[in-house]
A and B are shown apart, each in its own frame.
Chain A
Amino acid sequence: MKQRYQNRIELLQGTLDLLILQTLRWGAQHGYGIALAIRANSGDILQVDTGSLYPALHRLERQKLIAAEWKVSENNQRVRVYRLSAAGKKKLAAERSRWAQLSQAIAGILGPAGQESQA
């Protein structure tokens, strides 16, 4: 069963990493908070699967793109909070421009929406 989750991560990997890094740009946040932020910022379109989120967070932590520490929340509970590292910031910039190129390229191939029906 374990592998099923891994497979889904693999599908989402690059994208989810980018979204996490982008979300952490606005400040340190715990896992639940990141999931909420991604959902809210995408207008409820992107539902982040918890089974993908935590592996991604720990992978990024291991790659030293984000750092984690335990903090006490407003409810007086210990929560694990992630923040962007210097390497993570660089990575985010690189990934953003790559994403821009990619989406531009795909948009170019798909062309303006009107052309399809004319052909």
Chain B
Amino acid sequence: MKFPWGDGEQRKKELSEEISRHLQMAARDREARGESREQAGAAAQRELGNASMIHDVTHDQWAWTWLEDLLQDLRYGARTLLKNPGFTIIAVLTLALGIGANTAIFSLVNGVLLRPLPYAQPDKLVGTTQYYPKGPLVVMRQQSHTMQLVGVSDNKEFNLTGTGDPVRLIGNSVSADFFSMLGAQPGLGRTFHDGEDQPDKDRVVILSRALWQQRFQADPNIVGRWITLEGEDREIVGVMPADFRLPSPKTELWVPLRLDPRDSGNYWGDSYMQLIGRLRPGATLEQARAELKTMRPMVLAAYAWRMPVNSFVNSSVVSLEEAIVGDARGKLLILLGAVSLLLLIACANVANLLLARATTREREIAVRVALGASRWRILRQLITESVLLALLGGALGIGVAVGGLSILKATLPPDTPRLADVALDGHVLAFTALLAILTGVIFGLVPALGASKVDMTTTLKSGGQRSASGGNHRASKLLVVGEVAISMILVIAAGLLVKSLWILSGTSPGFRAERVVTARITPNELFCAVAGRCLAFYDELLNRTRALPGVNNVAAVNGLPLGGGAEIFPGVIEAHPVPDGAKVPMFWEKIVTPDYLRIMNIPLLRGRAFTEADSGADAQAVVIVSKTTAEHFWPGQDAVGEHFRPKWEQQWRTVVGVVGDVREFTITQNSAEWIDGVIYAPYGPHAIRGSGADAPPAEMTLVMEMAGDQAQIAGELKNTVASLNHDVPVSQISPLKSWVGEAMAEPRSTSALFAVFAALALSLGAVGIYGVISYSVAQRTREIGIRMALGARRQEVLLLVVGQGAKLALAGVAIGIAGGLMLTRLMSKLLFGVQATDPLTYGAVAVLLMLVALAACFLPARRAMRVDPMVALRYE
């Protein structure tokens, strides 16, 4: 078969020949019957009709003409749009906003959720949902037939010394085959060799490209150089390329795990880490899940001590993408949902514009119908026009998306997973194009269906001035109601989030952030391993810092609240013995110097605070507990005087005080779900270490109470630390307030996004109401004129018009409330201190929407009020 448009010209020529032959034969027959040659020719011509028309209609039978029609429709559509620049600009801008916002959010979804991970065969990569120590990793690596498992520690910090100022770097310990499992190639040098995660063979390190460039001036001969990390010498064996960002974009270096079973506390106990892996050929995710379950008893049996029977019981295997993205998925999908509602509003607005215009085009359409255009043909023409409009909007929308995306990337917290992968790529552009076409069909269909139904006779007779387009007007009212309802939902969602944020910022995190400046002091663990060396260092540091100008007081803590870190360990309460095999309660421990509670303004509720004496080596070991912890373990009793000990110790420690709750974990949580209590221990020999180590923690954070709000002590503090030990980095010198602000970044960015959506929705909704009411006023000018001629007062006319708008808005608000009740439940995870059905928010938003709607009605209403009855009646 020949390609349909390939032989089009040939067919056209033959068709002309066929028709002219017909004409000749007819003329010859007439001549044979005795007509003159001229007469016969003319009569045959008359009988045949319009030859070129017949030619065209016949040619149409050969399909593919739809393409010609499409081009024709496009040309016609473009002409129509150019003729109405006002309409076109408003419609295109509205659509550009809607489509642009969707494109921006979709590129986030695409980059974070959809795009495959940039590693070999990414669909085979998996991760465990729970963390495991090194011992279980080694057991499972030996046992698993479905997966090649590797361990990846969370971000850790390393002191780099001996190359300029000491600095704190972020790195991860990984299994030796971490890189080869992923199929990742180094940019320079090599990745780890097998066996380099064994003790004494692990003195190697791989740098990130960024670290190599910033700290080592992109030295091409870096491989083979030795550097000092945490007091240990390591050889640089490779540099990874910039696009390698596992496990986190912050990672600056990788070192091998040290698999040393002799260090059993670390090996089996506190080296919890994420396991990731690659499915072996032929293995499925389900098999891997099942295998993980069957390996659990072997893992527990490998322990030298008895583990709680339900250890690791909730662990499962998921795709690596899911393991990386985690909670971000839900939030992104909610954003996508919200932004698609916004697009619906934009569609409704443009559909309304088209409906209004369809009335003025009735005559044009009636003429086309009269000339023989079928309904389908008209429909197609109108839809082509709206798709053209949407494509223009989409093209402009890409510009909106580029701007929106850069704002988005700046607004979202930098630890949003895979944020660096987000870009406007081919997938996103394809999505935009598809969205634009779909949008064009959606908003074009209703007006086009209405317009193509036009009653030719009445329209043409009435001169097209005023025909009863009641159907159209009903449709546009429905659209406005829908639009208000959707705006209502978006504004409610934004209202709930903003209220959450407001409550959040109003809620005390449990401590005072004003006039406190913090700084991280991070000697090596090795430095502190020598008994007493670290204690003396901090003792002297605190004394010298206290003497610095502007510093009123100073204390040290092992980690700031709001996720700044803590020691986590299993503990036993004397009053609550744990049955063998049951889960031992886990504790979150703040190791503090005596002034910490005072500087942070954490209230002492019962008992006493720590004193210098509590830090003495021969002092009795004491702890302080938080209010919730006291109520949890000693309900209705006084916790002071009760006893507590870490699981591995024999001696009981006495609770000497109860203090107020602090948001230790995140801005919304006092502690994680799996933590049973928060306790404070004095810095010194009695600090409890999660690892069971004897020495107090090396890394401490100074909290300095300042005379003013100034943070300008960075230089002096650094000098002070350097004068004590020039290998100790000082980092993150900043006001405590900005630490609290960072903790709020996530809720703040979400509410900001929703606030923007809501503002857009509200203004689009207002424009929609304004458009419909103005249009209705224009349509009813004559009626209003008659009413006024019959004695209606201006206020009555005003009420009439505003009332009409109010009715629509009220219906929309009612539907919006119902929709909001259904939809906002999905976002309850994003809310804090406010229910998804918060009546106050709903009420306030309803009032706001009604006010906006009334304001939008007011302009057309004033126009209606000024109608001059004489002019209006003479108008026709």
Contact = CB atoms under 8 A, between A and B. Distances in A.
A32 B371 contact: no
B61 A55 contact: yes
B22 A7 contact: no
Contacts of A97: none
Contacts of B635: none
Contacts of B21: 30, 32, 77-80
Name A's interface SS: helix
A72 B56 CA distance: 25
Nearest to B18: A80
B57 A6 contact: yes
B339 to A, nearest CB: 42
A4 B368 CA distance: 10
Contacts of B57: 2, 5-6, 9, 51, 54-55
B374 to A, nearest CB: 6
A3 B377 contact: yes
A52 to B, nearest CB: 9
Contact of A31 (B22, B28, B50): B22
Interface in B41-96: 47-50, 53-54, 56-63
Given A6-B374, A7-B372, A80-B14, A51 B22 contact: no
Interface in A1-56: 1-7, 9, 30-32, 36, 49-51, 54-55
A2 B372 contact: yes
Contacts of A77: 21, 24
A77 B23 CA distance: 13
A2 B65 CA distance: 13
A56 to B, nearest CB: 8
B244 to A, nearest CB: 60
Interface string B144-180: 0000000000000000000000000000000000000
B25 A62 contact: no
Q: B28, B29, B57 — which one has the most chain A CB atoms within 10 A of its CB? A: B57
Name B's interface SS: helix
Q: B22, B26, B377 — which one has the most chain A CB atoms within 10 A of its CB? A: B22
Nearest to A59: B61
A58 interface: yes
Contacts of A30: 21-22, 25
Contacts of A70: 14
A51 B62 CA distance: 16
B181 interface: no
A32 B26 contact: yes
Nearest to A5: B57
A7 B369 CA distance: 11
A7 to B, nearest CB: 6
Contact of B58 (A7, A36, A54, A79): A54
Contact of A7 (B50, B53, B56, B374): B374
B66 to A, nearest CB: 14
A51 B373 contact: no
Contacts of A4: 371-372
A3 B372 contact: yes
Q: How large is the interface on B (under 10, 10 to 19, 20 to 34, 35 or more residues)?
A: 20 to 34
A1 B58 contact: no
A68 B61 CA distance: 15
B415 interface: no
Contact of A58 (B25, B58, B371): B58
B117 interface: no
Contacts of B14: 70, 80
Nearest to B47: A50
A63 B22 CA distance: 23
A31 B18 contact: yes
Interface string A52-94: 0011011100100000001000010111100000000000000
A17 to B, nearest CB: 12
Q: B28, B53, B61 — which one has the most chain A CB atoms within 10 A of its CB? A: B61
Contact of A50 (B17, B22, B377): B22
A31 B50 CA distance: 16
A75 B29 CA distance: 13
A1 B62 contact: no
Contacts of B48: 50
Given A32-B21, A80-B14, A80-B18, A51 B49 contact: yes
B19 interface: yes
Contact of A3 (B19, B28, B49, B371): B371
A71 B57 CA distance: 24
Contacts of B371: 1, 3-4
Contact of B61 (A49, A51, A62): A62
A21 B545 CA distance: 108
Contact of B25 (A2, A5, A32): A32
Contacts of B59: 58
Nearest to A57: B58
A31 B54 CA distance: 13
A6 B54 CA distance: 10
Nearest to B19: A54
Nearest to A35: B22
Contact of B372 (A5, A32, A49, A54): A5
Given A58-B62, A62-B61, A3 B373 contact: yes
Nearest to B17: A78
Contacts of A2: 53, 56-57, 60, 372
A49 B49 contact: yes
B60 A6 contact: yes
A46 to B, nearest CB: 14
Contacts of B60: 2, 6, 55
A3 B61 contact: no
Contacts of A31: 18, 22
Interface string B299-338: 0000000000000000000000000000000000000000
Contact of A1 (B15, B22, B53): B53
Contacts of B47: 50
Nearest to B26: A32
A7 B376 CA distance: 12
Nearest to B59: A58
A59 to B, nearest CB: 5
Q: B25, B59, B60, B63 — which one has the most chain A CB atoms within 10 A of its CB? A: B25
Interface string B23-39: 01110110000000000
A79 B15 CA distance: 11
Q: A4, A50, A75, A80 — which one has the most chain B CB atoms within 10 A of its CB? A: A50
A70 B17 CA distance: 11
Contacts of B56: 2
A50 B49 contact: yes
B65 to A, nearest CB: 10
A55 B14 CA distance: 14
Contacts of A51: 49-50, 53-54, 57
Contacts of B54: 5, 50-51, 54-55
Given A55-B60, A58-B61, A58-B62, A1 B25 contact: no
Given A9-B57, A30-B22, A77-B24, 7 more contacts: A2-B372, A3-B377, A5-B53, A5-B54, A51-B53, A51-B54, A58-B58
23 contacts: A1-B50, A1-B53, A3-B372, A4-B372, A5-B53, A5-B54, A5-B57, A6-B374, A7-B372, A30-B21, A30-B25, A31-B22, A36-B29, A49-B49, A50-B19, A54-B18, A54-B22, A54-B57, A55-B60, A75-B28, A78-B21, A79-B25, A80-B17
